[in-house]
Structure 1
Amino acid sequence: MSNKAVILGCNYYIGLSVIRCLGVHGIQTVAVDYSEENTYGAKSKYTSERLIAPHYKNESKQFIQFLIDYAKKQSAKPVLFPCHDSYLEVIDEYLDEIRKYYLIPQTEQGLYTKAMNKEVLHRIAMEKGVNVPETVRVNEENLFEKVESILKYPCIVKPTDSPTFVAKFRRKLFKVHNRQELQEALAKAEEAGLEVIIQRIIPGFDDHMHTFDAYLNQDSKVSHWATFQKFRQYPINFGASVYTGQKYIPELYEIGGKFLEEIGWKGFAEIEFKKDANTGKFYLIEINARTTNFNTLINKIGLNMPYIAYRELTGNPLPPKAIKENTGQVFWYGYEDMLAVKDYIKTGQLTVPQVVKSLFKKHAYAIWDWKDPKPGISYAGIIAGKFTKKFLKK
């Protein structure tokens, strides 16, 4: 296979999972980061090359030129895998240019950004008849009255641009319980120059969060898919998956597959839904346009999404496949799950017996792999270093 795979962002386990998914099939993987620091994913035995590029955000043009210069030296177009929203944003900005030198599923410049922008996604979903949480915009008249009558407290203040918001505040959103907290949250966002929207919280514990994970071919048709149920997130209630199980839910395919096909999506996407505990309706929360956190689980149940993309883009597509049974397998990110469990128990949302019982399922680990131990050992060293620093500060 002469087409290399260029993986952007290997200081996180998503990049590591992509490297492994492709490396096991003998594909040359190129790990690209802007720094050597904490790039434990690049230490995989399946990494063929390691490159340090200009910073994707601080030096965007130089970063794109770096990728182009590298591709020009190759005998065949590399396949590009952005593994973080921030990488995806800059790739989308220069998509028409980068596609001259790389194979990447999406062909419509701007579609990645539309899907990641919560305000735009909300509007598109409404146009397509997909349920979305009731929303109030900050520039609407009688803002606070509308929040109190339509959304009610508590509600959430949510960024339209998640990567920038998370980088600034180290959280995905603000949860507010009254008018004063809402005013404070809006002031923080305004001071940071970030656009936000205010939304109703869909009732239900974290196990009411579900996902539809799919690959759409170059005809924008779903060719591979599975559905999942979250059990625990970190930070709790409004965070990323740390303990998620595969569960076959046909309704999510009916909603999610139709939506992605209608907007002309190509490549991998994950739609997050929340099931209303009172009505049973599924509400679209967001779209992850890059490889998802629990990619190791998707691979373990039989859908190697990075390899599916690689095969199609290099002209040798795999046959369609869907997981239409319950496998009983779960994804587990042990370190952050321990932090989450502490908070779930502290707030009375889970009990110790419930947590212990959940740990006896078949696991797909976020980082650890007996066949490829170096990334896990490196990550353990990073965590140990953090604890040491905290201890020395006391």
Structure 2
Amino acid sequence: MNNKAVVLGNNYYIGLSTMRCLGREGIHTVAVDYSYENTYGAESKYCSERVIAPHYRKEKEQFIAFLKEYSRKQTAKPVLIPCHDSYVEVIDEYLDELKEFYLIPQTEQGLYTKTMDKDELHKLAVEHGVAVPETVHLGEENFYEKIEENIKFPCLVKPTDSPTFVSIFRRKLFKVNNRQELDEALQKAKDANQEVIVQRIIPGFDDHMYTFDAYLNQEAKVTHWMTCQKYRQYPINFGASVYTGQKYVPELYEIGSKFLEAIGFKGFVEIEFKKDSETGQYYLIELNVRITNLNSMLYKVGLNFPYITYRELTGNPLPPKAIEYDTNLVFWYAYEDFYAIKGYLKTGQLTMSQVMKSFLKPKAYAIWDWKDPKPAFSYAGIISKKLLKKIKK
């Protein structure tokens, strides 16, 4: 196979797991970053090549020019795999140009961005009959009345553009408990030039969060899928998965596949749902349109999504497959999970007994791999430096 796999973003374990998924299948992997600093994913033995590109945001046009030039030097079109939302946004903006140089699953320019945008996703879900949390937009008539009567406090102030919001505030959203906190949050967003929406909190602990992970082929049909249940996330209650298990939930396939096929999505995607603890209804929360945190577990359970993507785009698709039983396997990102556990215990949401019992499950680690230990040691070095800085302060 002459097609290389170009992996964008290796300073996080998503890039690392993607590299491993492809490298184990003998694919030539290329780690692309704007700096050598903290790119521990590229330390993997499955990384075949490492290149430094212009910054995807600060030097956007130069970055696109770099990607094109790199492709021109290859004997076959590389497969392009972004491992961070910011890379996805840039690829989507230049999708029509980049498809001349790279194999990319999505064919409709703007669809990636549309489904990442919370406001646009909300409209799409309503249009296709998928339940979403009740939402109020800034500028609506009787704005505060709607919040107090329909949304109620506490509620969430969420960005429409998550990657930019997170880069500014280092958090995914603001949780507000009253009118004053709401006004303060809206002012912070306004000062940062961030568009936000106000949304109802669906009742239920973090284990009421579920995911539908799927691959849709070039005919926009789901060919591979599985479902998962979150147990812990960080920051707690409104964060990213740090301890999540594979769990077969057929209802999520019914909702998720119908919606994704209706909007013409292609490639890998993860839908996050929350199950209402009072009604049992599943609400669509967000879409992740690139390889996600759970990738090492998805691979271990039997769905190698980066390779599934690669095989279809290079003209040799793998047969359809779904995980329709429970494996008891969990994904574990130990470093952030320790902080999460501290938060759950402090707020009384979990007991130490519940935490200790959860660790009995077999695990797929975010970073550690006995057969590929170098990235973990590199990551440990990065964390040690951060801790030393804190101690010095």
**TM-score interval, smaller chain:** over 0.9
2:353 aligns with: 353
**Cα separation, 2, equivalents of 1:58 and 1:391:** 32
**Aligned counterparts, 1:235-274, within 5 A:** 235-274=235-274
Residues 363-389 of structure 1 deviation map (CA, whole Å, 9 limit, x = unaligned): 000000010000000001111111111
Q: Alignment partner of 2:279: what SS?
A: coil
Q: Alignment partner of 2:391: what SS?
A: helix
2:202 aligns with: 202
**Cα separation, 2, equivalents of 1:294 and 1:246:** 9
Residues 304-343 of structure 1 deviation map (CA, whole Å, 9 limit, x = unaligned): 0000000000000000000000000000000000000000
2:165 aligns with: 165
Deviation at 1:172?
Answer: 0.1
Number of residue pairs the alignment of both structures matches: 393
Deviation at 1:229?
Answer: 0.2
2:215 aligns with: 215
Deviation at 1:249?
Answer: 0.4
Q: Which amino acid aligns with 1:81?
A: I
Q: Alignment partner of 2:337: what SS?
A: helix
Deviation at 1:144?
Answer: 1.1
Deviation at 1:131?
Answer: 0.1
Deviation at 1:195?
Answer: 0.3
**Cα separation, 2, equivalents of 1:351 and 1:186:** 35
Deviation at 1:145?
Answer: 1.2
Q: Alignment partner of 2:48: what SS?
A: strand
1:15 aligns with: 15
1:49 aligns with: 49
Q: CA RMSD in A?
A: 0.4
Residues 174-222 of structure 1 deviation map (CA, whole Å, 9 limit, x = unaligned): 0000000000000000111010000000000000000000000000000
Unaligned ranges ≥5, structure 2: none
1:375 aligns with: 375
Q: Which amino acid aligns with 1:74?
A: Q
Deviation at 1:118?
Answer: 0.2
Q: Alignment partner of 2:244: what SS?
A: strand
**Aligned counterparts, 1:291-370, within 5 A:** 291-370=291-370
Q: Alignment partner of 1:47: what SS?
A: coil
Query: Which runs of at least 4 in structure 1 moved beyond 3 Å after TM superposition?
Result: none
Deviation at 1:276?
Answer: 0.3
Q: TM-score, normalised by structure 2?
A: 1.00
Q: Which amino acid aligns with 1:152?
A: K
Deviation at 1:233?
Answer: 0.3
1:285 aligns with: 285
1:178 aligns with: 178
**Cα separation, 1, equivalents of 2:392 and 2:286:** 40
**Cα separation, 1, equivalents of 2:271 and 2:12:** 21
Residues 89-127 of structure 1 deviation map (CA, whole Å, 9 limit, x = unaligned): 000000000000000100000000000000000000000
Q: Which amino acid aligns with 2:51?
A: L
Q: Which amino acid aligns with 1:178?
A: N
**Cα separation, 2, equivalents of 1:168 and 1:144:** 26
1:141 aligns with: 141
**Cα separation, 2, equivalents of 1:238 and 1:313:** 35
**Cα separation, 2, equivalents of 1:111 and 1:135:** 22
2:276 aligns with: 276
Deviation at 1:391?
Answer: 1.0
**Cα separation, 2, equivalents of 1:259 and 1:177:** 33
